[in-house]
């Protein structure tokens, strides 16, 4: 099942794509908090009902300009260096355990929202990634085999980072990853029943029509089930939380001479079976006045 969230004035309303490709409003069937409807068992029941009875639901009018992120996570957890190709380009060793960074949940954006580029972010880089959405409170799992019962579904993400704030401004990666709009999610939350193998999906990212990233989740160093299990050992995961599982190579960082994202650029991110994001980069209001210019990124 492919579920999306559509803004309607001040409200955000759930919807789903029917087998014919039409978007049907789900309000009548989804009521309540994410902890209720994102629970994997609730989603399975919703999926069965939808397949049997979707024709009863109203078709949404023209939704594209109104699609927001499919979930509003309290936590966005970014896994670093999880693809051999990306670690090699970054000049870093493949880590023996997952590298974990937190990204501000306020960085979450919709799949077609403009991407704001502030003047003091001079090295904004793309990272198309498979996002895992947690479906229920999860802590201290016994092993990776327990993870699938905790997953609500998957979506396309781009783990945008400003490389200068990430690498040259001291401290943790959170600085480079948390700018407004740097965690676009969606368009859809795709439930596990509709995505049998998240470990074998092709990913791609295009800038101004040029393909920059091409990879497969089969190349992930640590797979989805292991990551959920691993994170649960030292943090609580809650319904709606999002894990960004790492990015293949092809970032600007790994391409000598490649320009970073600038206002006017077009960014497309796609994962087979999960859909496609398309964004325009725009100049964000300058916020540089009280910010010391960082050392140049080599
Ligand atoms: Zn990343």
Q: What is the pLDDT of residue 156?
A: 98
Q: Contact, 6 vs 66, CB < 8 A?
A: yes
Residue 131's contacts (CB-CB under 8 Å, 6 or more residues apart) are 154, 155, 156, 157, 185, 242, 243, 244, 245
Instruction: Quote the tokens at residue 230.
Output: 């691993």
Q: What is the DSSP letter of 167?
A: H
Q: pTM of the predicted model, to two decimals?
A: 0.94
Q: Quick one: pLDDT at residue 183?
A: 98
- pLDDT of the residue at 196: 80
For residue 77, the CA-to-ligand 1 centroid distance in Å is: 9
DSSP lists the bridge partners of residue 65 as none
Give the distance (Å) from ligand 1 centre to CA of residue 27.
33
Distance 214 CA to ligand 1 centre (A): 15
CA of 75 to the centre of ligand 1 (A): 15
Cα(18) to centroid(ligand 1), Å: 31
User: Residue 83 C-alpha to ligand 1 middle, in angstroms?
Assistant: 10
Give the N- to C-terminal CA distance of the chain in Å, as an integer. Answer: 45
- Given this model, what pLDDT does residue 214 score? 96
- Per-residue confidence of the chain (298 residues) as pLDDT tens digits? 999 999 988 889 999 999 999 999 999 999 778 889 999 999 999 999 999 999 999 999 888 779 999 999 999 999 999 998 888 877 888 889 999 999 999 999 999 999 999 999 999 999 999 999 999 999 999 999 999 999 999 999 999 999 999 989 888 999 999 999 999 999 999 999 999 899 999 999 999 999 999 999 999 999 999 999 999 999 999 999 999 999 999 999 989 899 999 999 999 999 999 999 999 999 997 654 444 445 455 4
């Amino acid at each position: 099942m492919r579920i999306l969230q559509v803004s309607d004035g001040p409200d955000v309303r759930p919807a789903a794509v029917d087998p014919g490709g039409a978007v049907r409003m789900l309000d009548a069937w989804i009521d309540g908090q994410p902890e209720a409807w994102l629970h994997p068992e609730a989603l399975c029941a919703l999926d069965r009902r939808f397949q049997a009875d979707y024709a009863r639901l109203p078709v949404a009018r023209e939704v594209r300009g109104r699609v927001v992120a499919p979930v509003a996570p309290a936590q966005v957890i970014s896994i670093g260096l999880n693809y051999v190709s990306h670690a090699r380009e970054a000049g870093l060793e493949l880590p023996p355990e997952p590298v974990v960074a937190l990204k501000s949940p306020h960085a979450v954006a919709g799949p077609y929202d403009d991407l704001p580029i502030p003047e003091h972010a001079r090295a904004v880089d793309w990272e198309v990634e498979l996002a895992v959405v947690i479906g229920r409170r999860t802590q201290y799992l016994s092993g990776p085999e327990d993870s699938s019962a905790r997953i609500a579904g998957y979506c396309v993400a781009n783990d945008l980072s400003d490389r200068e704030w990430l690498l040259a401004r001291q401290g943790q990666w959170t600085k480079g990853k948390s700018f407004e709009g740097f965690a676009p999610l969606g368009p859809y939350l795709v439930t596990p029943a509709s995505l049998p193998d998240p470990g074998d999906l092709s990913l791609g990212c295009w800038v101004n029509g040029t393909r920059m990233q091409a990879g497969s989740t089969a190349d992930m160093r640590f797979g989805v089930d292991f990551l959920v299990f691993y994170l649960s050992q030292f943090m609580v995961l809650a319904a709606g939380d999002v894990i960004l599982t790492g990015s293949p190579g092809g970032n600007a960082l790994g391409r000598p001479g490649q320009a970073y994202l600038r206002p006017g650029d077009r960014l497309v991110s796609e994962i087979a079976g999960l859909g496609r994001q398309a964004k325009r980069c725009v100049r964000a209001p300058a916020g540089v006045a009280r910010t010391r210019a960082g050392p140049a990124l080599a």
